[in-house]
Amino acid sequence: MKLKQLEGLLGDLQQFSNPKVELEQYPTGPHIASRMLFTAENSYGDITDKVVADFGCGCGTLSAAASLLDASCVIGFDIDPQSLETATLNAEELEVEIDFVQCDVTKLELKGQVVGTVVMNPPFGTRKKGADMEFLSAAMKVASQAVYSLHKTSTREHIKRAALRDFNAKSAEVICELRYDLPKLYKLHKRKEVDIAVDLWRFEPRKN
């Protein structure tokens, strides 16, 4: 599937109707989601025929992208039941098969090397300090092949240090820098739209 085709399909998905500020729920737009998963597959072969988990999947945009790129199995995890309802509707609309599980990913325990690749757009940690690192720590315990994650460019050094030192990463590299358009979703946002520089990371877990 071509990148433009993938982006076009993702552009039709429903997003949060009533986003929860405490969960830092922001939609992963089709521009970023398509490039994230397209790169993961076309540069590294980490999606097609792999078991892919989407941590904090929200309305399922990254899950849908993984499924459209022929992952063998896609599982989306989220703590919010309303988001998962929307994600299920999106999967049905696209006619793709995705398993959605309601749970707190930071407390997730999956036995054995079931999941190959984890993809995620975690909370940036602005509402709950360290939330982004909790997601990364959990993902590194679950993925056997790679973790793809978005983090604010301003946290780059901190992320790299923590991944290599604390989260058992064999490698941690920024594979591209993107602009994340945050629409004004919450009353606390002053401006109509905020443009944030984010890094797309690829982390490779150390084999135990």
164-196 confidence digits (pLDDT tens): 999 999 999 999 998 876 654 444 445 455 677
Alpha-carbon gap, residue 54 to 61, rounded angstroms? 9
Instruction: Give residue 141's Cα distance to chain centre.
Output: 15
User: How confident is the model at residue 172, as a pLDDT?
Assistant: 98
User: How confident is the model at residue 189, as a pLDDT?
Assistant: 43
User: How confident is the model at residue 185, as a pLDDT?
Assistant: 46
Distance linking the first and last C-alpha atoms of the chain: 34
Edge-to-edge strands, sheet with 169-183? 99-102, 73-78, 51-55, 117-120, 146-152, 193-205, 169-183
77-104 confidence digits (pLDDT tens): 999 999 899 999 999 999 999 999 999 9
The pLDDT confidence band at residue 14, using thresholds 50, 70 and 90, is confident
Q: Which residue has the higher pLDDT, 63 or 123?
A: 63
Give percent above pLDDT 70 in the chain: 83
The pLDDT confidence band at residue 52, using thresholds 50, 70 and 90, is very high
Alpha-carbon gap, residue 36 to 201, rounded angstroms? 9
By the 8 A CB rule, do 120 and 54 touch? yes
Listed range (4-13, 28-37, 160-169, 188-197) with the worst mean pLDDT: 188-197
**Cα within 13 Å of Cα(198), Cβ side:** 24
